[in-house]
Amino acid sequence: MLYTNLKHIETATEHAKVISENENVMVICGRMGPMCILVYGIAEEIENDYQNIKFFDMEFDNPESHVIRNLSEVQGFRGIPFTIYYKNEKVIKATSGIQNKQQIISILNEYFEK
């Protein structure tokens, strides 16, 4: 279990439900390590500024997170967290490793209408 204030996805079934029921979704798949904690914190901080986007986390080491770890968009990624941005059930952007607040905001503003 990840100790964040984000909504948690624990199973592949929940993941499928989340992305099918929400137009815009950001999922941070990681651990409770220093690089991941920074990204969770940024998402928690800006979540209320983006009412049209649903923010979630998923534990990287959970076998159920294969739905993220096996995406073609993350092949070759070396660092965690994997941050996946979905629009209408499709991956529109994926990043790996630490991202600063401005990088995340830039992605949100580019791919999702505020």
Amino acid at 66: H
**pLDDT higher than 90, residue 1:** no
Confidence at residue 113, expressed as pLDDT on a 0 to 100 scale: 76
State percent of the chain over pLDDT 70: 99
Q: DSSP 3-state assignment of 82? A: strand
Mean pLDDT, residues 33-61 taken together: 97
Instruction: Indicate if the alpha-carbon torsion angle 17, 96, 90, 107 is positive or negative.
Output: positive
Assign a CATH topology to domain 7-111: Glutaredoxin (3.40.30)
Give this prediction's pTM: 0.96
Confidence at residue 68, expressed as pLDDT on a 0 to 100 scale: 98
Residue 25 · residue 19 · CB < 8 Å: yes
Listed by start position, the domains of the chain span 7-111
**pLDDT higher than 90, residue 97:** yes
